[in-house]
Structure 1
Amino acid sequence: MTKMPKKAYHYDVKILPERPKKFFRAAFEQFRVNQLGGAIAAFDGRASCYSVDKLKTDSKDSEVSVTDGQGRVLTYMVEIKETGDLEVDLNSLNNYMTTRIFDKPMRAMQCLEVVMAAPCHNKAVRAGRSFFKTSKPGERQELEGGYEALVGLYQAVVLGDRPFLNVDISHKSFPIAMPVIEYLERFGIKTKINAITSLETSRRSIESFLKGLDVIYTAPKSFATAPRIYKVNGLSRSPATTQTFEYEGKTTTVVEYFQSRNFKLLYPQLHCLHVGSLTKQIFLPIELCQIDGGQALTRKDGATQVANMIKFAATSTNARKAKITNLLEFFRHNNDPTISRFGIKITADFMVVGTRTLRAPEVEYQGKRTCRPRNGSWRMDNMMFLEPKPKAHKWAIVYHDPVQGRKMPYNQVSDFEKQVLAQSKSVNIKLEAKAEIRTFKDDCSLDKCFGDLKSKEYDLAFVIIPNSGASYDVIKQKAELQHGILTQCIKQFTVERKLNPQTIGNVLLKVNSKLNGINHRLKDEPRIKNAMFLGADVTHPSPDQREIPSVVGVAASHDPYGAAYNMQYRLQRPALEEIEDMESITMEHLRVYRQHRKTYPDHILYFRDGVSDGQFPKIKSEELRGINAACAKMGIKPKICCVIVVKRHHTRFFPSGEPSQYNKFNNVDPGTVVDRTIVHPNEMQFFMVSHQSIQGTAKPTRYNVIENTGNLDIDVLQQLTYNLCHMFPRCNRSVSYPAPAYLAHLVAARGRVYLTGSSRFLDLKTEYEKRKIVPEFMKTNPMYFV
């Protein structure tokens, strides 16, 4: 970037009409060539452009013409004018090193983002910061359900000890471009003439796929009109034979309308697509519609698509690096005139950075028996949980006895009981010698069952989730919000087909924690005495569920080892990132801490998950203020260290060497830390890979320390963070980020479970009050959410 000019100019771009926006870029390009005399300018596709040359803003002729994919000519009016703050200081990219991370030279970085995207738009489909290359015939990677996986290049300007272009691979599902008839056939709908399956039986699934998609409607030749693109609202209420609409003052059916224009529908029994404005009655026969290609949707992928995507995307570091290199060769940034005009050149090689590998802590079990993790995991062979509870727990197994259909064989339930009992003894969980085995027929009888077990003071109920019937969400709502009884769910499929010692061992890790036992501790004494580990996360609804509130989850430790936690959850406005109720949440956690430890903490280590760099000041001003206010009310002033846990980034580490039998994806070793070169030079910041990736390239977690009133040393913080990654109670592995933040994520997920079944949320305080966990239950089993 040595040849980059010291400044650029920022212009507002206005394009009318405002729709369709997908041709704005082509319209601006026409305007740039014709009216700006071919001056080099980087356009963001919406309302801004940047240039290192001053552009003329007094063009009298602002009309341009663009041809869409169907040959239709569209006319746009393009106007550019100087912004109020015309000059962008590109030189700020050379002197940001002396500033704080959230005082980034944002305008200069935004300008470069637009410039670096210039060569990608013409060759790919944009979604977020990634550019997806469309598939060629024969190359398609299908995900089922009408979707395919596309590979894209992610790129972002980031600041280390100098500016870098961060590049990586992205994967995203896109609807496959195909006739809608073909989609129905893939879905199992018989579309052969005279043997057509009604769409009514599969209506819900078909509509959920088609709704919101753009389809190309190609009218019959006799209509002599060009194809048009419409957005689908859903299926018509009736098939084309009976679906009516008003035409020239008369009511007619879709079939009759086409017959009157000399076209006979091949599939009159099929429903039509209701498209366009919701107020208008535009019904298109399915046989004349095709799904448009390259549609970047914001909808959530289904479970099958996610599973297929993971299989496709999980590659070794070597393969991932090769994919990135191939895409960079495809886009050829250095050949782009816009990038050249800004004096930028991308080097061909990846950055080489120095790493350190932290030593894994020793894990201690009962009787001071220890083991040291190897490759990010350890075995509990012949070891017992550190602190099980001494009393024998009353327990039950509850399973589904449907009114109709197959009941689960009793001998499988009995076998499950025996295996749980045998293995619980080997790890020293004390369960009574016999489980109470109950059945339930429906949600109502499940209610009665939980009520009865609660009144008889059962400590735990294993609930076998039926393959069809009561869902996990319903079970948890009834158990935790209504009755206050501890449950451990396991799928019927797992009990019937996958029951083995490893599965039961994993379940018992959770059971011991839920029953207030401690699975293990770390032998290396914590270097910070009397510390409360606090983790927080906020989960947001997907973009197509904006009426559902965001859920706050906060977990806090109340034991000397960072192994036992309690939780608080809240509901707040959708998409609000900072936690509004941090003061009352912290007060509750401090109260529980004092109850268990007979003192308040001297240190609070706050691991905050899920916020971007731009939100750091808000976390500091809102959440840390709430924590401090809670401490002040309790009359204490602990040292506070706030570490932001960032997983949504695209930095990856590619070690030299080849995959091995212990490391088949050729990832860096667990405990690898990078805190030089690619981190902000004026911040306490580091990257760490704390886990062994089971599939694909390991994603390092980035840690930003935004508050450190106890002046904890960076080496102490890094080791402590790595140690806490070994304290997640659900598995005998080091996980990818510290247990407090991971548990907070589980808390927020549980809060979302409590929302299932509701679609309207009027007053969030009232909604939260309706979904409060039984108070006595929270007190007796604070780790129930694991």
Structure 2
Amino acid sequence: KKFYRHAFEQYRIEHLGGAIAAYDGRASCYSVVKLKFSSQSQEVKVTDRHGRTLNYALELKETEDSEVDLNSLRSYMKDKIYDKPMRALQCLEVVLASPCHNSAIRAGRSFFKRSEPGNAYDLGDGYEALVGLYQTFVLGDRPFVNVDISHKSFPMAISIIEYIERYQRQKIDKSTNLDFRRNDIESFLRGVNIIYEPPACFGSSPRVFKVNGLSKVPASTQIFELDGKKTTVAQYYKSREYNIKFPNLLCLHVGPPLKYIYLPIELCRIEDGQPLNRKDSAPQVAAMIRYAATSTNERKAKIIHLLQYFKHNLDPTISRFGIRLDNDFIVVHTRTLNAPQVEYKNNNLASVRNGSWRMDRMQFFDPKLKPHKWAILYGKMQYNQVADFQGIVIQQSRNVNVCLDAKADIRMYKNDRDLDDHFLDFKRNQYDLVFVIIPNFGATYDVVKQKAELQYGILTQCIKQITVERKLNPQCIGNVLLKVNSKLNGVNHKLKDDPRTLLKNAMFLGADVTHPSPDQREIPSVVGVAASHDPFGASYNMQYRLQRSALEEIEDMESITLEHLRVYHQFRKCYPEHIVYYRDGVSDGQFPKIKNEELRGISAACCKMHIKPKICCVIVVKRHHTRFFPNGGPSQYNKFNNVDPGTVVDRTIVHPNEMQFFMVSHQSIQGTAKPTRYNVIENTGNLDIDLLQQLTYNLCHMFPRCNRAVSYPAPAYLAHLAAARGRVYLTGVTKFRSPKEEYEKRLIVPEFMNRNPMYFV
């Protein structure tokens, strides 16, 4: 497949008379005129960069419906036929990619430019960051090309010896044995293509192999069979007049897994330009964010630089199809919504400025006034630091009116068994809250949550040891208490009543499905659904489920909704008249499935309760590449030069046949703010678009963990936390049965969920 494009290019020159055609790299090609070609398959030869010749047989056939109507891209607004242009867009995507393939690495819809020699951005662990141009056609009030920059990690094109010395910090000499670093090296190299460069005395060309892992023993003792006789890797190379420099190093096991091909590490290097479907490590992600977070001005300059690099308008294929890209970005009209006012205890109001607000000396809107019995568990640290932590928690809790007993029960734990003993005692003595000071690294957080929530029904608040030791200050503990008050069924703040967005008796529902990374397909996907059960959209309860890996739509929506309706009725003594459903994590092609499966599940649950609320379903799309660049320059309060929070775009670039809008609701802390796209796919209550936009913006101010507007509405954000908690419950599992069986083994203690429905925040 790697050379399909080269083979087609050779075929185009030799058998199509050099006629211009756009090829998608798989099984389709497009041409402006009918191509004259033989009905027989034709042989072509391709030479790879290492001098090896590959033979391909190509056969061209006309499809049944061979004409693509490009005029539909001009007429769809007038004709109101919106599915017809999709085929034309598919064709033009292939055409648009033509100038990029020869000079860049393709990954998804992005084309990544190779780094200049000596100028790679090192992410650590053997990876570098590359910048790519993302490009796709989109329909607005006319067709647009959506361009943006994207960033991705790629394995560095270095020798395996250099990788081990630089990133495993292991100096290589004749005595080096890598067995104790086997796991780290294998986890990096497995699935990576390497270039094997035979010694000059072999007279052979370099070859590319995929790595399976490392040999069990070094080259000096690794045996394989050659012509029916057993020999070691070192002996084989010696028989061909090459002495292995590092005979004590393990070999690479490459090629088909059942063929035992072993190569000396010293003769191998990593092939460049490999886009891997791997999850980046936490340090890699942090390094990537530092690299990618740029102001709107810098981002715009990078996009223009890549457009100039690829020279679309000079490409013969693009020209032949009559396409020309404008040099300027599209200018759109925006509206800025008014931020809501935030209400605390005793009708005290805080004003939102630049997406955030200050509590100052205000107290939580509704703290639960019963004194709460609490404890602190700590591990390997000094007691006086724990006592300081207790003191600042008590002081800050009084400031915001969270009622904790005057003294905490402070205990030490050494291991998991200690946690069991303490949690059992806390349960017997009805403790309301336990702070657990956890190590800075490791899986203790996951262990604590599994034991506390699946076994004992104990409310916990984890805090890292480094925070208690080095970062203890009133602001830090104030942020922790935002979570604690919500977990204890308090309401941190509400929004001042706004007649523009008054929806009487509404349940806000949020849902998200998190999927395992492509290299972990045996792990199930986790569904998280959060639903409000108070008049303000401030208090939520959650449900989680496990379902088969990579399934986008939620299978169990009916039973989930039934449970949310039960909790809503328990708190409000009535059922909702409106359900506003924010669905996160859905790709564009899945909208019909969400409508047919999930909305049907919600309706079925309502039917069982003999109610018929008005349902509005809004798809929340964060994974897109639309960005807004203001015309002005940066300011003291906006150093990244982003648009103001509350900016809405609902014309020109939105799909003409869909109720759709873009909104930036937050102030970006670093880099260019990413607008969230909202697609309304169901609206049985005929909610006005202006009402829906303001309601959505208001809900971005209701995330209980911080005093700032977040990038999408609280119900969807909380659903993401619910799914993340479900993922925590799977930590430590190595063999998975069916998702249903795994879920049944991980049920949350029912009375705990009833007592503290917002425990997951």
TM-score tier, shorter chain, comes to: over 0.9
Q: Contact conserved, 1:550 with 1:576, CA < 8 A, in 2?
A: yes
Matched residues in 2 for 1:742 and 1:470: separation? Answer: 24
Choose the corresponding residue for 1:742, options 708, 714, 717: 717
Q: Corresponding residue for 2:90?
A: 110
TM-score (normalizing by structure 2): 0.98
Matched residues in 2 for 1:657 and 1:740: separation? Answer: 34
Aligned-CA RMSD value:
1.4
Alignment partner of 1:645 is 2:620: yes
Amino acid at match of 1:165: V
Cα deviation for residue 56 of structure 1 reads 2.8
Q: Corresponding residue for 1:464?
A: 437
Matched residues in 2 for 1:619 and 1:259: separation? Answer: 63
Alignment partner of 1:330 is 2:309: yes
Choose the corresponding residue for 1:528, options 498, 503, 507: 503
After TM superposition, list the pairs within 5 Å mapping 1:198-277 onto structure 2. Answer: 198-277=177-256
Matched residues in 1 for 2:34 and 2:443: separation? Answer: 66
Matched residues in 2 for 1:237 and 1:465: separation? Answer: 37
Cα deviation for residue 143 of structure 1 reads 0.6
Q: Corresponding residue for 1:511?
A: 484
Amino acid at match of 1:44: D
Cα deviation for residue 471 of structure 1 reads 2.1
Matched residues in 1 for 2:386 and 2:175: separation? Answer: 45
Choose the corresponding residue for 2:291, options 312, 329, 337: 312
Q: Corresponding residue for 2:345?
A: 366
Q: Corresponding residue for 1:537?
A: 512
After TM superposition, list the pairs within 5 Å mapping 1:658-669 onto structure 2. Answer: 658-669=633-644
After TM superposition, list the pairs within 5 Å mapping 1:474-493 onto structure 2. Answer: 474-493=447-466
Q: Contact conserved, 2:124 with 2:167, CA < 8 A, in 1?
A: no
Once the two structures are superposed, residues 323-366 of structure 1 have per-residue CA deviations (whole angstroms, 9 ceiling, x without a partner) of 00000000011111111111111000000000010010000000
Once the two structures are superposed, residues 261-302 of structure 1 have per-residue CA deviations (whole angstroms, 9 ceiling, x without a partner) of 111111111111111111011111110001000001111111
Once the two structures are superposed, residues 25-84 of structure 1 have per-residue CA deviations (whole angstroms, 9 ceiling, x without a partner) of 000000011111111111111111111211234254611111112111111111111123
Q: Contact conserved, 1:99 with 1:682, CA < 8 A, in 2?
A: no
After TM superposition, list the pairs within 5 Å mapping 1:715-730 onto structure 2. Answer: 715-730=690-705
Cα deviation for residue 188 of structure 1 reads 4.0
**SS of 1:135's equivalent?**
coil
Q: Corresponding residue for 1:13?
A: none
Once the two structures are superposed, residues 551-606 of structure 1 have per-residue CA deviations (whole angstroms, 9 ceiling, x without a partner) of 11110000000000000111111111111111111111111101100100110000
Matched residues in 2 for 1:483 and 1:315: separation? Answer: 46
For these two proteins, the number of residue pairs brought into alignment is 759
Q: Contact conserved, 1:215 with 1:290, CA < 8 A, in 2?
A: yes
Q: Contact conserved, 1:217 with 1:290, CA < 8 A, in 2?
A: yes
Choose the corresponding residue for 2:558, options 566, 580, 583: 583
Distance 1:314 1:104, change over 3 A: farther
**SS of 1:80's equivalent?**
coil
Q: Contact conserved, 1:102 with 1:614, CA < 8 A, in 2?
A: no
Flag structure 2 segments of 5+ consecutive residues without an equivalent.
none
Matched residues in 2 for 1:58 and 1:140: separation? Answer: 47
Matched residues in 2 for 1:415 and 1:726: separation? Answer: 32
**SS of 1:167's equivalent?**
strand
After TM superposition, list the pairs within 5 Å mapping 1:688-707 onto structure 2. Answer: 688-707=663-682
Flag structure 1 segments of 5+ consecutive residues without an equivalent.
1-20, 401-406
Q: Corresponding residue for 1:494?
A: 467
Q: Contact conserved, 1:442 with 1:470, CA < 8 A, in 2?
A: no
Cα deviation for residue 123 of structure 1 reads 0.8
TM-score (normalizing by structure 1): 0.95
Q: Contact conserved, 1:57 with 1:82, CA < 8 A, in 2?
A: no
After TM superposition, list the pairs within 5 Å mapping 1:72-471 onto structure 2. Answer: 72-97=52-77, 103=83, 105-194=85-174, 196=176, 198-400=177-379, 407-467=380-440, 470-471=443-444
Matched residues in 1 for 2:381 and 2:190: separation? Answer: 38
Amino acid at match of 1:417: Q
Matched residues in 2 for 1:120 and 1:194: separation? Answer: 45
**SS of 1:590's equivalent?**
helix
Distance 1:429 1:102, change over 3 A: farther
Once the two structures are superposed, residues 173-206 of structure 1 have per-residue CA deviations (whole angstroms, 9 ceiling, x without a partner) of 011101100000002443343453x322222111
Which 4+ residue blocks in structure 1 deviate beyond 6 angstroms?
98-102
Matched residues in 1 for 2:228 and 2:414: separation? Answer: 55
Q: Corresponding residue for 1:11?
A: none
Amino acid at match of 1:759: T
Distance 1:285 1:101, change over 3 A: farther
Matched residues in 2 for 1:227 and 1:523: separation? Answer: 70
Q: Contact conserved, 2:76 with 2:82, CA < 8 A, in 1?
A: no
Q: Contact conserved, 1:605 with 1:641, CA < 8 A, in 2?
A: yes
Choose the corresponding residue for 2:650, options 675, 679, 683: 675
Alignment partner of 1:767 is 2:742: yes
Matched residues in 2 for 1:234 and 1:673: separation? Answer: 51
Q: Corresponding residue for 1:553?
A: 528
Q: Contact conserved, 2:616 with 2:684, CA < 8 A, in 1?
A: yes
Amino acid at match of 1:398: L
Once the two structures are superposed, residues 411-461 of structure 1 have per-residue CA deviations (whole angstroms, 9 ceiling, x without a partner) of 111111111111111011011111111222211221222111111111111
Moved more, 490-499 or 589-598: 490-499
Matched residues in 2 for 1:411 and 1:709: separation? Answer: 59
Amino acid at match of 1:109: L
Q: Corresponding residue for 1:785?
A: 760
Matched residues in 1 for 2:483 and 2:601: separation? Answer: 32
Amino acid at match of 1:275: V
Q: Contact conserved, 2:533 with 2:539, CA < 8 A, in 1?
A: yes
Matched residues in 1 for 2:158 and 2:212: separation? Answer: 18
Matched residues in 2 for 1:97 and 1:625: separation? Answer: 31
Once the two structures are superposed, residues 88-132 of structure 1 have per-residue CA deviations (whole angstroms, 9 ceiling, x without a partner) of 222222333378898463211111111111111011000000000
Choose the corresponding residue for 1:684, options 645, 659, 664: 659
Matched residues in 1 for 2:303 and 2:313: separation? Answer: 15
Choose the corresponding residue for 1:624, options 567, 586, 599: 599
Matched residues in 1 for 2:145 and 2:46: separation? Answer: 33
Q: Contact conserved, 1:219 with 1:226, CA < 8 A, in 2?
A: yes
**SS of 2:131's equivalent?**
strand
Matched residues in 2 for 1:469 and 1:570: separation? Answer: 25
Once the two structures are superposed, residues 496-540 of structure 1 have per-residue CA deviations (whole angstroms, 9 ceiling, x without a partner) of 122122211111100100010000000134411110000011111
**SS of 1:330's equivalent?**
helix
Matched residues in 2 for 1:717 and 1:577: separation? Answer: 25
Matched residues in 2 for 1:713 and 1:129: separation? Answer: 35
Give the fraction of aligned pairs with identical amino acids, expressed as a percent.
72
Q: Contact conserved, 2:515 with 2:550, CA < 8 A, in 1?
A: yes
Q: Contact conserved, 1:57 with 1:80, CA < 8 A, in 2?
A: yes
